[in-house]
Chains A and B, each alone.
Chain A
């Protein structure tokens, strides 16, 4: 049985808006195990992104606990959470969020050097990862505005995995990309998952969700249902799609 890497107990997150409390996540129990490519789906406002940020230590839960192994992070200060994130988490965003005033290579190293020392091995690793996602050396010294959306997102992925995070968190990573770029990016996600990377991804796109091994469907702040699949490429894509489609239909998607 795969070991647990992330677990929540009665996780809740509320927001106060003009004095009105909005309970976005309610008493949610969840366990992520080693090797999972977890996809979180749900209708708009179901709390997908909120859950992602609470799990990743980007935001503090209102109540409940978040365990990384034996380490509880819910009571960490903002700076403690930052230190926790740099060691354990990688992030890929819908808006990509590369730093405009830094080159591709520096964007990657800015993420890396907060954790690792500047060694030839690190530089080599960054180069290799960038090449693996399809960028060539000429692209390394380009600035973000000189890249296409797909290229930029690939840089974003390399920046997220350069520190070998325990979990890679992705929030709608293909949300701003065209279909060809989306496919390229998703292929990268599949590949790094195959290489052993744990991934938790939020999406509302079926094609993207197909890349996962476990789909959680959120409704009103709780997990409405769960659907498990084998690793992408190990089964027939049509059957995979129809199975997931059926699950989502049942969930009212």
Chain B
């Protein structure tokens, strides 16, 4: 007991003597515990939040949509008969992808919206309202809409705000009556389910019937574990003989949870990796310091041993030191984790757009604290036990380790160049263990830093980086024309507009199926892909002939396809073979997109005509400015319709709108160029001419990407910046401590060299240069790891090919190496305080 107290006093003395090192270990263990706690506390929290929102809302766990006119009653029978699902409800939905909206603050964005009536909503879930206007206020609203609580949590919408939907140049303002808790369709990356009144539903269903917006029939139910979606769809196809689309129309608990939580999980795994870096750094520092201390205090160890202290007791003095500093750090980290929990809950709430119940889970934090302490103790003990290698005589002779009998690596006589560099290289090999430790720390830190920097740079301009990964010209405005309109003529006119620098004719995204594949996919069609600006193959080349196709990387991987393979496309009962000429990394359409030339597309779909003009806007022209110019130029009937709709138009006016579009379709089918029409309603006759009706739909894809990804981009940017900052601090702490402890250990040699005429700057340079080779090599390896990590990250998450910018990598490497040099140089500043005369007179 007496001895224990003496040993403890010795530990406290060492702690007091080496305050900086102790503070560094407290800092590193605290950061480790904090981050590990965040990881452990929150990995299950997102799942819990997701589960709770389903419980609260009473949502079904699956909705399957069928295209308008392709639903058959047998589909419900299959569910009941073959899957034993008795409670199935059939409802109508309006699904509108990339719907242009004007937000309450006036910003224009695009959302994927799923419209349902309150009756439908109550069949799907309990319609639990979380926030709303008063009943009187709601009763006074002309077009009320109930939005998922995501709009309140993430986007800051308030009840009473007005959200305006733009469709075909028309504006449809809705007032937010309130928010409700929903299970399905509550995500930027999928759809937002909006509950509207029956009359509004009918109004929108008349206007939304394009490739991207249409009325669907949906079956909602709680699918059991034995329900297999693709198998079910195959059965539906078989029964109906319909070419049913097998994507874009399945809302399920599993897929929503996976998509909604994927970014959160990435952040959490990055935090876990960061904690690994800080833990490794802390353990390395502990080992390094114990090693240094034993070497420095060798004679004291000899004296203690001579006095009768057992090596176990002396080892314990080093151990206690780290139990104290590591323990303080771990407890501090645990307390910080408790303090940070509400902040993290808020972060998860914003990231998921769902309420998160407060739950600190102290047991998990205690377990993390104990784990960190156990690691500290294990590593410290393992190193401290080396004391037993030194019996008193050896210790009093300063230990055999200070003696060198080994091979003289890099003899000065046979090396050339600056003497400081040469001595630094020699020093590296004399302190190889430290170098290896620093190498591992820099390798881990460098990997995180590089990945953070690459990701930060990618997101620095918001979503523009993501746009480049679509492998589609999403920076354009898509102008769909009616079937009777010659798109090439409209293209000429659009191209002549000052707001436009270029225009191309293409098809609206059409769904195609590859024979034998479970995934149908959209097609991108151009006469000449060389005219497109953002479509570059990752492998092979762009399609040029009518029998060629380019596919997305994710599809290629999933279906084991590569350049040179032949595939059969299926559409409307036709089958045509195509040769894969290229593979492209694309986030579009879940990585199932296909690229064909116009002639190639016509082989499989000879009936459909090109119907879209993609307008590339001039610099400085916004989508809204262009759309305004476009509707004022081509508006005609569309403009009138817009005004009618905006001003709450009469039923007659609405009918006129629908009639004109229907007439336009019929005109194209019968090959006439102009038609007059008359519709009699009661005593009133509505007449008109459809010849002026040109534009069917205007869509901005950029707005859709922004609405889906901007919050993620912002959060990723912040996270990666903080990660880079943390790593920089950790590297600075480690290198400063290593440099200063090296100076302390090498004090005599440094003094001798000063007497020979080496300046303090020379010696600081030597100390800094000593670790540069290992830091450089570590950063080079980290760069390679980062490139693969980045590739893996984008490939597994989005099915795209991430080309890591070599300039970012090289500049980050150089900055890190320079930073390490400067930190070590400054950390070695204690050399200035070494007095030659004091050393001589010691």
**A residues at B contact (CB < 8 Å):** 49, 53, 58-59, 78-79, 82-87, 89, 91, 93, 95, 97-103, 105-106, 109-111, 113-115, 118, 123, 126, 141, 143, 145-146, 159, 171
Is B832 a contact partner of A114 (Cβ separation < 8 A)?
A: no
A/B interface sample: 20 pairs, CB < 8 A: A58-B755, A58-B837, A82-B760, A82-B762, A84-B757, A85-B757, A93-B755, A93-B840, A97-B748, A97-B752, A97-B755, A100-B749, A101-B426, A103-B411, A105-B411, A106-B411, A110-B423, A113-B419, A114-B756, A114-B757
- With A86-B756, A103-B411 known as contacts, the answer to whether A114 contacts B762 (CB < 8 A) is yes
Q: Which residues of A contact B841 (CB under 8 A)?
A: 49
Complex contacts, A109 vs chain B, CB 8 Å: 412-413
What's the Cα separation between A82 and B832 when bound, in Å? Answer: 12
Chain A residue at smallest Cβ distance from B755: A91
Binding site for A on B (CB under 8 A): 402-405, 408, 411-413, 415-416, 419, 422-423, 426, 430, 748-749, 751-762, 832, 835-837, 840-841
Instruction: With A82-B754, A91-B755, A109-B413 given, name 5 new contacts (CB 8 A).
Output: A49-B840, A82-B758, A100-B404, A110-B756, A141-B408
Consensus secondary structure, chain B interface = helix
**Is B840 a contact partner of A101 (Cβ separation < 8 A)?**
no
Q: In the complex, A173→B599 CA distance in Å? A: 97
The distance from the CB of B787 to the nearest CB of chain A, in whole angstroms, is 38
The 7 A-B residue pairs whose C-beta atoms are closest, nearest first, are A86-B757, A79-B759, A109-B412, A113-B419, A82-B759, A85-B757, A143-B404
* List of A residues within 8 angstroms of B412 by Cβ: 105-106, 109-110, 113, 118
| Residues in B neighbouring A145, C-beta threshold 8 A | 403-404
Q: What residues on B are CB-neighbors of A103 within 8 Å?
A: 408, 411
For A117, the closest partner residue in chain B by CB is B416
Determine the distance from Cα of A145 to Cα of B405 in the docked complex, in whole angstroms: 9
Q: Which of A59, A84, A95, A111 contacts B756 (CB 8 A)?
A: A111
- List the B residue with the shortest CB-CB distance to A60: B837
**Cα separation A82 to B749 with both chains bound (whole Å):** 15
Question: Roughly how many angstroms separate A113 CA and B408 CA in the complex, as a whole number?
Answer: 17
Select one of B403, B422, B760 contacting A100, CB under 8 A. B403
Contacts of A111 in B (CB 8 A): 756
**Are the CB atoms of B836 and A58 closer together than 8 Å?**
yes
Partner of A79, one of B411, B413, B760: B760
**Do A113 and B422 touch across chains, with their CB atoms under 8 A apart?**
yes
| A123 pairs with B413, CB closer than 8 A | yes
**With A100-B403, A123-B413, A143-B403 as contacts: A59 and B837 at CB distance below 8 Å:** yes
Instruction: Provide the residues of chain B in CB contact with A115, threshold 8 Å.
Output: 757
| A88 to chain B: closest residue by CB | B757
Chain B contacts for A97, CB-based, 8 A: 748, 751-752, 755
Shortest B530–chain A CB gap in Å is 60
A115 to B419, CA, bound (A): 9
**A85 CA to B755 CA, complexed, in Å:** 7
A17 to chain B, nearest CB (A): 13
CA distance A89 to B756 in the complex (A): 8
Task: Point out the residues of chain A lying under 8 angstroms from B413, CB to CB.
Answer: 105-106, 109, 118, 123, 126
Contact, CB under 8 Å: A110 / B753: yes
With CB as the reference atom, state the residue of chain A lying closest to B404: A143
Report the separation of the CA atoms of residues A11 and B836 in the bound assembly, to the nearest whole angstrom.
Answer: 20
Nearest-CB distance from B751 to chain A (Å)?
8
Q: How far is the CA of A83 from the CA of B762 in the complex (A)?
A: 10
When the two chains form the complex, which single residue of B751, B752, B760 contacts A78, counting CB atoms closer than 8 Å? B760
User: Which B residue sits closest to A123, measured CB to CB?
Assistant: B413
> With the chains together, A100 CA to B426 CA distance in Å?
13
Neighbouring A residues of B415 by C-beta, 8 Å: 118
Task: Look across to chain B and name the residue whose beta carbon is closest to the beta carbon of A90.
Answer: B756
- Which listed residue, A59, A79, A113, touches B761 by the CB 8 Å rule? A79
Query: Which residues of the other chain, A, contact B832 by a CB distance below 8 angstroms?
Result: 78
Bound-state Cα–Cα, A82 to B760, Å = 8
Chain A nearest Cβ from B289, distance in angstroms:
20
